[in-house]
Amino acid sequence: MTPIDRLIALADGQVFVRHWPVAGSTLAPIVLLHDSLGCVALWRDFPAQLAAASGRDVIAYDRLGYGQSSPRLAPAQPDFIEQEAITLLPALLAALGLTRYVLFGHSVGGGMALTHAAQAAGCVAVVSESAQAFVEARTREGIVAAKTGFAEAAQFARLTRWHGERARWVLDAWTETWLLPLFDDWSLSPWLARVHCPVLAIHGDLDEFGSHAFPRRIAAEVAGPSQLLLLDNCGHVPHRELPQAVLAGICGFLQQHGVC
């Protein structure tokens, strides 16, 4: 399967998009939303595996400021999740001509996916993976530990490999925003009750950024049908650590709920 790359011009800059097409598929495509330090390249071979397993086109994009998309200069704002979900993602989906789609969001991408689904009729299902539903002590502790680790030149160089000159902005957009005192009360709850499409919440028991309280709240508070997939001996990146379990969970979930 050969992916197709393109740049989409939006009002705020160019967005890098990679598309894994499935010949003849008429099913709603799956759109991937990356985590706080992620980008298209860091999904590695998972999108191709997901396309093959599900029979659906898969599309991933770099948020503005990340990967191969246009850089951002201003610091990330505390409402960046809502900005992405309500303004930027709809503009991108419209530019791609997508009117029906499944969202798969990893970590903060899961929060963005659920927030978007709360106000978008075109979203026919959401898979949230390792998504934060609110801010736990474990969340902040994990971010502080990561921030300390990235102070080492060798580890920061790994981030530069994927984001180039954007790496410092990318790191600060995560650590400095989530560690703001005013972010203490952030929660997905105001949005979850407005999510009516099927939702699958995936979470690993060893996730260093949040407990099972996150997926349990997501599953309990969405208005539509929901399922939990709680994985043993798994950290914050299930699609990399236990890809077959994640693929099977997603495909079974979409089939069970008749997501076409």
Per-residue pLDDT of the chain (260 residues; tens, 9 = 90+): 799 999 999 999 999 999 999 999 999 999 999 999 999 999 999 999 999 999 999 999 999 999 999 999 899 999 999 999 999 999 999 999 999 999 999 999 999 999 999 999 999 999 999 999 999 999 999 999 999 999 999 999 999 999 999 999 999 999 999 999 989 999 999 999 999 999 999 999 999 999 999 999 999 999 999 999 999 999 999 999 999 999 999 999 999 999 99
Q: Is residue 109 helix, strand or coil?
A: helix
Does residue 117 contact residue 44 with C-beta atoms inside 8 Å? no
Phi, psi at 202, each rounded to 5°: -105, 140
d(CA 119, CA 85): 9
pLDDT at residue 73, rounded to an integer: 87
d(CA 191, CA 196): 11
Pairing of strands 13-20, 4-10: antiparallel
d(CA 150, CA 6): 31
Spell out the residues 6+ positions from residue 247 whose beta carbon is closer than 8 angstroms to its own.
49, 50, 53, 54
d(CA 103, CA 70): 22
pLDDT at residue 202, rounded to an integer: 98
- Cα angle, residue 191 at apex, residues 240 and 59 outer, rounded to 5°: 40
- Alpha carbon dihedral 21, 22, 24, 27, in 10-degree steps, equals -90
- Number of neighbouring beta carbons within 10 Å of residue 16: 21
CATH of domain 4-134+187-256: 3.40.50.1820
Q: Which amino acid is present at 60? A: A
